[in-house]
Amino acid sequence: MLVRDFALELEERKQAGLYRTRRHVTGPQRPSLIADGKPLLSFCSNDYLGLANHPANIEALRNALPETGLGGAASHLICGHHDAHHRLELRLAEFTGRSSALFFSTGYMANMGVISALAGRGDTIFSDRLNHASIIDGCILSRARVRRYAHGDVPALEAMLAETSGHKLVVTDGVFSMDGDVAPLAELAKVCRAHDALLVVDDAHGIGVLGPEGRGSVAELGLSEEDVPVLIGTLGKAVGTSGAFVAGPSMLMDYLVQKARTYIYTTAMPPAIAMATISSLDLIERDQGRRDHVMGLVSRFRREASAMGYELMPSRTPIQPIMIGDNYGALALSQALEKRGLLVSAIRPPTVPVGEARLRVTFSAAHSQEDLDCLLGGLSECRHLLQKTDVAI
């Protein structure tokens, strides 16, 4: 019997500049990290508001533990649905302006469970070509017919919807994780209403950052539950804790309790995490200064990095990719920055399309202007080094 040559595949990935390694981080998540034993200033975290290490959230978690214990112990449908989970779901529904919400263990599980529950054999799912891997896998798991439309191309989507009968699901990221741009949500909502399609928006990178009081990209446009019936979000990014949620009409949430396998067949999250998340949502609502600060960093970065000649993508969010193109060029720039104490990840296929390797720079409210000085100084120095080695930026 032939055995697949896994070692050969690993070597091929190394030769193509696609090999990935893990870093060992010591201490809490914050801009100044100890990674693999050395101090680095990180610009690659999704902790956009600097809440992953906020004292109030840590205190909320500590105070909850005597009341809730540590583990979830069972699935939500057995005996794992704690009062803390219920309180968080009520808070998430209020925060997002929806009728009801469910607390999932991860964003990946939320997308997998929601999409595969809301569509199946004989149905059609329409998915943006740049959607996150969890959305893509949720579509595959559903066994529905999947049609991908060009990134943000609403007219193309509308033409597809017009020629398709039966149950239709349209799914998109709110903020695209690798490009940092925002989906044309108002236009998507309009065509979905016109063609009787159910719109699902994963606002993982918009919640906490965009919209009034950080309520996300959907709220930024004033879109209601009728406009966007299914809203998904993660809690491990701007919210700074862990887990995910889906929010929408009570009937749909009840349907997901019955049908979403990634909700039904997994142990509930630690209830103390739910209590810490409530604390974090309170902080997000009342602290506009954090959003103002991080957006100020973004504005300055775009202005000064562009002036150096770096190709930035059209993003107004804390996700600020520097387009490189070549895998080795992206790795070279990332490694050169790391030698200067700066941690900025090189993103390569299949996470992004072939020929679109990039550095994914992300900003946090925990970054200072002095931190940004360090990044811009490093980029200035590395640009000179890359030019000397004839690696295009």
Provide the pLDDT for residue 383: 82
For position 17, what pLDDT does the model report?
84
- What are residue 323's DSSP bridge partners? 358
> 3-class SS at 53?
coil
Contact 113, 171 (CB under 8 A): no
Query: pLDDT (tens digit, 9 = 90+) per residue, 359-369?
Result: 999 999 999 99
Specify whether 365 is located in the same domain as 279.
no
| Percent of the chain with pLDDT strictly greater than 70 | 97
**Residue 392 within a domain:** no
Rounded to whole angstroms, what are the CA distances from 131 to 1, 156, 182, 239, 330?
38, 16, 12, 21, 22
Please determine, for residue 255, whether its predicted confidence score (pLDDT) is greater than 90: yes
Average pLDDT, the chain: 95
Active site residue 237: yes
Based on the domain organization, do 311 and 274 belong to the same domain? Answer: no
Per-residue pLDDT tens over the stretch 142-164: 999 999 999 999 999 999 999 99
> Please, which pLDDT band fits residue 2 given cuts at 50, 70 and 90?
low
Annotated binding site for pyridoxal 5'-phosphate: 107-108, 177, 205, 234
Q: Which two tokens stand for residue 336?
A: 């050169």
Nearest to 207 by CA among 242, 240, 233: 233
Domain range spanning residue 363?
23-49+288-386
Q: How many CB atoms lie within 10 A of CB 80?
A: 17
How sure is the predictor about 18, in pLDDT bands with cuts at 50, 70 and 90?
confident
Query: What's the pLDDT band for 180 if we cut at 50, 70, 90?
Result: very high
pLDDT digits over 285-310, tens only? Answer: 999 999 999 999 999 999 999 999 99
Asked if residue 359 and residue 249 are part of one domain, the reply reads no
CB contact at 8 A, 360 and 319 = yes
Among residues 240, 269, 286, the one where a domain terminates is 286
> 3-state DSSP: the chain helix, strand, coil percent, rounded to 5?
45, 20, 40
Same domain, 259 and 115: yes
Bridge partner residues of 13 (DSSP)? none
d(CA 336, CA 236): 29
Binding site: residue ranges?
A: 20, 107-108, 132, 177, 205, 234, 351
Angle at 313 between CA 310 and CA 318, to 5 degrees: 100
Nearest CA among 301, 321, 305, 325 for reference residue 313: 321
Confidence at 16, pLDDT banded by 50, 70, 90: confident
Asked whether residue 292 is assigned to any structural domain, the reply reads yes
The fraction of the chain above a pLDDT of 90, given in percent, is 91
pLDDT tens track for 186-204: 999 999 999 999 999 999 9
**Whether residue 205 is found in the same domain as residue 338:** no
User: pLDDT (tens digit, 9 = 90+) per residue, 317-332?
Assistant: 999 999 999 898 899 9
Would the pLDDT of 254 be above 80? yes
Of 76, 237, 293, 367, catalytic: 237
- What integer pLDDT is reported at residue 389 of this predicted model? 40
What's the structural domain count of the chain?
2
CB 365 within 8 A of CB 293: yes
Instruction: Write down the residue that tokens 């995910």 correspond to.
Output: 244
Q: Is residue 11 part of a domain?
A: no
Whether 352 has a pLDDT exceeding 60, the answer reads: yes
Clarify whether residues 34 and 108 are in a common domain: no
Contact (CB, 8 A) for 101 and 247: yes
Contact 334, 346 (CB under 8 A): yes
Q: Which of 286, 305, 337 is the last residue of a domain?
A: 286
Residue 113 belongs to domain with CATH number: 3.40.640.10
pLDDT of residue 386: 54
**Is 177 a residue of the active site?**
yes
pLDDT for residue 387: 55
Cβ distance 337 to 294 under 8 Å? no
Same structural domain for residues 231 and 292?
no
Residue 335: exposure state from Cβ atoms within 10 A (0-12, 13-18, ≥19): exposed
Binding-site residue set for substrate: 20, 132, 351
Residue that terminates a domain, selected from 254, 286, 318: 286
For the stretch 43-82, pLDDT in tens is: 999 999 999 999 999 999 999 999 999 999 999 999 999 9
**Catalytic position from the list 54, 168, 205, 367:** 205
Has residue 106 been placed in a domain? yes
AA identity, residue 287: D
Same domain, 29 and 71: no
- The domain that holds 30 is classified in CATH as 3.90.1150.10
For residue 211, being part of any structural domain is answered with yes
Active-site residue, selected from the candidate residues 45, 105, 127, 177: 177
168 tagged catalytic: no
pLDDT band at 1 (very low <50, low <70, confident <90, very high): very low
pLDDT for 388 equals 43
pLDDT, mean of residues 35-45? 95
